Structure 1
Amino acid sequence: MVDFARHWTRRLNDGFPVLAAMQVQVEGTPFAWYLTAPFAANHNDHGTAFGGSLSTLATIAGWMSTSVLAGDGYDVVIQTGNTEFIAPLRDDLFARPLPVDQYTAQRFLQTLSRRNKARLSVQVTLLDAQGETVALFSGLYVATALPAGNPSATA
């Protein structure tokens, strides 16, 4: 596992007990990553992936995408989110955030630097093992500067 993936997997599972129960893993590098969770820990009584697990995985993928872009020293929270379910999933869960375009990323970082607070809209695709889209998520996240000396500022 790449250091990036190992670091974020540990951070997610230590910081969010529900993610540890879901057995969430980060795969990839800082430039191309996705989240996974096994079907066995995230199914419902219909034999499909639990919608709450799909929504949670997507919400965290958006949160992580915003956190990675903002960098150390910022706290990120979700303001709003919506999941559109397209097809049932009977396989492991995969969540891949869509890249934020360069202009939007630059504007987000400039606002964050200038005001110590900025919002970012993030889109996440939930996929099956064959790469077919089973759900789409869109969320609005807010990043704010952490106070100097806050231990979370370097986590």
Structure 2
Amino acid sequence: MSSVSTPASDSLSRLQLRLQKMPPVRAMALRVDDFDPATGLALSAPLSANINDKGCAFGGSLCSMMTLASWGSASLALDLAGFPEAEVYVQDSTVRYLAPLYDDLHARARLEDGHDWAEFVRTYRNRGKARANLCAEIHCADGRLASSFVGRFVALRPQA
């Protein structure tokens, strides 16, 4: 993350702090790398903290990374629009495991094609709730797709 303070870097720092408050995420040694509305949120974690008995990345860590990258994308979109208090939940998801990953974990999540953040934020602003469909991927060092994720996320205005 950049050392210059901007609204986006402030939001990324807040997201990193939120994630570190979750013990399972802290154990994964997960890092927030960057966010761009067009390309999504990038997270990373070392293989050494997410390794299974076969010496490759633990499937639960792969799923968690992609879920968190998607959740974080929706949370950041709302934070950047002035709604840092929005509560974002995963509603449902599908994960595919396609190849073992023997490298550090790098997940990137983005909105599914045909969806846009402006509509998501507008719906949240007007109705106090919104849904977003996101997808995420983790690739092997050689470029092969290791895992893919598709999920629906719901953002709700906090209960008073």
TM bin (shorter chain): 0.7 to 0.9
Tell me the distance in 2 between the aligned counterparts of 1:11 and 1:129: 28
CA positional deviation for 1:120: 0.6
Equivalent residue letter for 1:51: G
Count, aligned residues:
147
CA positional deviation for 1:97: 0.8
Paired position in structure 2 for 1:22: 28
1:14-39 Cα shifts (integer Å, max 9, x gaps): 2x110100000011255564101110
Are positions 1:126 and 2:104 aligned together? no
CA positional deviation for 1:107: 2.0
Tell me the distance in 1 between the aligned counterparts of 2:111 and 2:90: 18
Equivalent residue letter for 2:2: V
1:58-137 equivalences in 2 (<5 Å): 58-71=66-79, 72-99=84-111, 104-137=116-149
Equivalent residue letter for 1:124: A
Percent of matched pairs sharing the same residue = 34
More deviation, 134-143/24-33: 24-33
More deviation, 22-31/50-59: 22-31
1:31-61 Cα shifts (integer Å, max 9, x gaps): 5641011101101111111000000011100
Q: Is the 8 A contact 1:126 1:135 kept in 2?
A: yes
Q: CA RMSD in A?
A: 2.0
Q: Provide structure 1 residue ranges, at least 5 long, that are not aligned to the other structure.
A: 149-155
CA positional deviation for 1:145: 1.1
Tell me the distance in 1 between the aligned counterparts of 2:70 and 2:26: 18
TM-score by structure 2 length? 0.82
Paired position in structure 1 for 2:15: 8
CA positional deviation for 1:81: 1.2
More deviation, 104-113/58-67: 104-113
Q: Provide structure 2 residue ranges, at least 5 long, that are not aligned to the other structure.
A: 4-8
CA positional deviation for 1:6: 3.9
Tell me the distance in 2 between the aligned counterparts of 1:77 and 1:103: 18
More deviation, 49-58/100-109: 100-109
Equivalent residue letter for 1:2: S
Equivalent residue letter for 1:9: Q
